[in-house]
Amino acid sequence: MPEISVLPAEVAEKIAAGEVIERPVSIVKELVENCIDAGAASIRVEVEKGGKAMIRVADDGCGMTRDDFQLAFTRHATSKIRTIDDLFNIRTMGFRGEALASVAAVARVNAVTRSTDDESGWEITIEPPEAPALRSAGRGPGTTIEVRDLFFNIPARRKFLKRDETELGHITRYLQAVALAFPGISISLVSNARKVFSAPAVESVRRRVAAFYGEDLAEDLLETEGGGEGLRVYALLAPPFYSRVNSYSQYVYVNDRFVRDRVLQSAVSQSFRGLLEQRRFPIVFLYITIAPQEVDVNVHPTKMEIRFRNASSVRSTVVAVLSQALLKADFVPTITAPGPASLSPRADNIRRSIEAFYENRVAQPGDFHAAGPPARPGEQNLPLSTSPGPGPVYPSGSLMQVRGTYIVQETGEGIAIIDQHALHERILYSQIRRRLDAGNLQGQRLLVPEVVDVTPAERLALETAHEALLKLGIDVELFGEDAVAFHSFPAVLGDVNRERLTRDLISDLVQARGPRSLDDALTALAALLACHSAVRAGDSLSPEELDALLRKAEETEARYACPHGRPTKLVLTFDELERRFKRK
């Protein structure tokens, strides 16, 4: 067995740094937390190459004195705790005393600071393994820390970093979360000398939400608060019809700290149960204020995970506050009812999506329900049943819609029950994929562009997916600093709810984990487009539309399942029916 030895200081420092510094956003998080603790009114973050080449964070906070500055980059040096008991009474964002030392162990650092009580500032340069160099410098009150060449001395660790766009996305999302927690602080982000976003100080969380999500959503937010002594809950809840396809737009804070906590996420889900469609997620801004002694924020070095002393009590309080507000609210969106003779928009899409199927067919009176594909010249459509007399294979009544959701059909083997949405979704998805395989999808230009307010992270995701979107026939461009304009959508989609489609499309792009190949992105987006264009449960279809939908399915590959893997059809065989009725 090898002998036990003490690790060299250099190795130990790099191991410790690995617990705190995972990627560029880890550095941004630690430095920004220090800015907040320093009482900054303005924080500016600049990055190059997603933070891998350079990160610069500047604030106008209280700054540091010369003596404090010399100690700041020493391991376990902090001004925020003194005894072990202080760990259970944390009232600051940073406290561990590891961040600056960890950064200095894996990158080249230059920092400049000036205390509000001093007339001049100080500058320090740290380039491992060289000794730190301290000198006087000019600066206004506050601190600027510049970090370059992350993991330059740990090449193996650097290889695990993702693309520049991915790392920038993490930084953008984190800073957006900070901005929503501290609306009174001005926060800006610049990437490669280009402004990503600028959030001036505002008077309320609602105004900060408006800056990122638009005025309409901000105005519709339901505000609620409650709780008891030692635990206060404040929340802004978006109406269910603003829901998303993922939980990306759920912001949860505990004592102003942005966290990811299963207890609180479960409480939000419980509160909205019965108000949302399946697999939809609400937009929520939830702020918990709790006595520091009742929560442990020292569970993980990144301080993103927490642990409540009485988790069940916290959960029940949050559920009570949110549920009471949601039950009292009157979330009724305004819609325009169609005329009595018109079909629902999505049902009408079926007719448009299969128009080409009938273009080359000469219809005969009474044969709209003829079975199988159109007859070729010289051929006849042969009946598949032994029903006497001439007429269609599907006589009147053999196709029936149940609850506006399922199609019941008699087949050669029994009774088929078809999910109309799942089947139409598969048909449209197959059409989109076939056209993509043949080239780009044809886009239909809008007379008036669809303008959508976006957050900086959403705008970045759209820019990254620009090539895939163009191939799908979706032309989108920047519209000012906080919005984008959709100029075209795939012509194959027909008339869809474009607002909901664009929001879910953006959410999908933002939520994508890691870089996706072009084909993977096209596959995911094609499924999303098909889902939004397909007839939905509750849409009433005419007998002709029911028949046309099943005809088109015969030309569609993998028609047994929708693009998300749900079955499109279940069959109750005649053998099973006879067995159930004791005929066998």
Q: In this predicted model, what pLDDT tens digit does every residue of 167-187 receive, in sequence order?
A: 999 999 999 999 999 999 999
Q: Is 513 helix (H, G, I), strand (E, B) or coil?
A: coil
Do 188 and 304 share a structural domain?
Answer: no
Do 197 and 212 share a structural domain?
Answer: no
- In a domain, residue 390? The reply is no
- The DSSP letter of residue 281 is B
Element (H, E) at 228: strand 222-228
Measured CA to CA, the distance from residue 314 to residue 321 in angstroms comes to: 11
Which residues are bridge partners to 186 per DSSP? 42
* AA identity, residue 373: P
- Name every residue whose Cβ is closer than 8 Å to that of residue 506 and which is 6 or more positions away in sequence: 452, 454, 458, 461, 462
Measured CA to CA, the distance from residue 584 to residue 575 in angstroms comes to: 8
Do 583 and 434 share a structural domain?
Answer: yes
Do 29 and 169 share a structural domain?
Answer: yes
Domain holding 226: CATH number? 3.30.230.10
Q: Is 44 helix (H, G, I), strand (E, B) or coil?
A: strand
Do 223 and 165 share a structural domain?
Answer: no
- Name every residue whose Cβ is closer than 8 Å to that of residue 418 and which is 6 or more positions away in sequence: 406, 407, 408, 409, 550, 568, 569
Do 228 and 159 share a structural domain?
Answer: no
- In a domain, residue 385? The reply is no
Element (H, E) at 181: helix 164-181
- In a domain, residue 1? The reply is no
Domain holding 477: CATH number? 3.30.1370.100
How many Cα atoms sit within 13 Å of 490 on the Cβ side? 28
Domain holding 160: CATH number? 3.30.565.10
- In a domain, residue 129? The reply is yes
- The DSSP letter of residue 497 is -
- In a domain, residue 131? The reply is yes
Do 257 and 402 share a structural domain?
Answer: no
- In a domain, residue 379? The reply is no
Do 351 and 320 share a structural domain?
Answer: no
Q: How do beta strands 284-290 and 250-254 pair?
A: parallel
Do 252 and 118 share a structural domain?
Answer: no
CB–CB of 409/418 below 8 Å?
yes
Measured CA to CA, the distance from residue 491 to residue 435 in angstroms comes to: 11
Do 111 and 225 share a structural domain?
Answer: no
Which of 201, 225, 249 corresponds to the end of one domain?
201
Other CB atoms within 10 A of residue 37 CB? 17
Q: Quick one: how far is CA 317 from the chain centroid?
A: 27
Element (H, E) at 219: helix 215-220
Measured CA to CA, the distance from residue 501 to residue 512 in angstroms comes to: 17
The pLDDT tens digits for 62-92 are 999 888 888 888 776 666 555 555 555 566 6
Which of 305, 328, 351 corresponds to the end of one domain?
328
- Name every residue whose Cβ is closer than 8 Å to that of residue 143 and which is 6 or more positions away in sequence: 34, 35, 38, 58, 59, 61, 63, 64, 111, 112, 113, 114
The region, left, alpha or beta by phi > 0 then psi within -120 to 50, assigned to residue 464 is alpha
- In a domain, residue 3? The reply is no
Other CB atoms within 10 A of residue 294 CB? 15
- In a domain, residue 358? The reply is yes
- Name every residue whose Cβ is closer than 8 Å to that of residue 240 and which is 6 or more positions away in sequence: 272, 275, 276, 280, 282, 331
What's the pTM value of the predicted model, to 2 decimals? 0.71
- Please say whether the dihedral angle defined by the alpha carbons of residues 276, 281, 287 and 293, taken in this order, is positive or negative: positive
- The DSSP letter of residue 442 is P
Do 345 and 265 share a structural domain?
Answer: no
Q: Which domain holds residue 474?
A: 339-374+395-584
**Count of structural domains within the chain:** 3
Do 561 and 544 share a structural domain?
Answer: yes
Interhelix angle for 456-464 vs 498-511, to 10°?
Answer: 80
Virtual CA dihedral for 530, 533, 539, 542, nearest 10 degrees? -90
Which of 146, 173, 201 corresponds to the end of one domain?
201
Per-residue pLDDT tens listing for the chain (584 residues) = 567 666 566 666 655 555 578 899 999 999 999 999 899 999 999 999 999 999 999 999 999 988 888 888 877 666 655 555 555 556 666 655 577 888 888 899 999 999 988 888 999 998 876 778 889 988 999 999 999 999 988 888 888 899 999 999 999 999 999 999 999 999 999 999 999 999 999 999 999 999 999 898 999 899 999 998 889 999 999 988 788 888 889 999 999 989 988 899 999 988 887 677 667 889 999 999 998 888 887 666 666 778 888 999 999 999 999 988 987 886 755 433 334 334 444 445 444 444 443 343 333 333 323 333 333 333 333 222 333 333 333 333 478 888 888 999 887 778 888 999 989 988 988 888 888 888 878 888 988 898 998 898 898 889 888 888 998 889 999 888 888 999 998 887 777 788 888 888 888 888 775 667 777 788 888 888 888 888 888 888 888 888 889 888 888 877 777 887 678 888 888 888 888 787 87
Element (H, E) at 71: helix 66-71
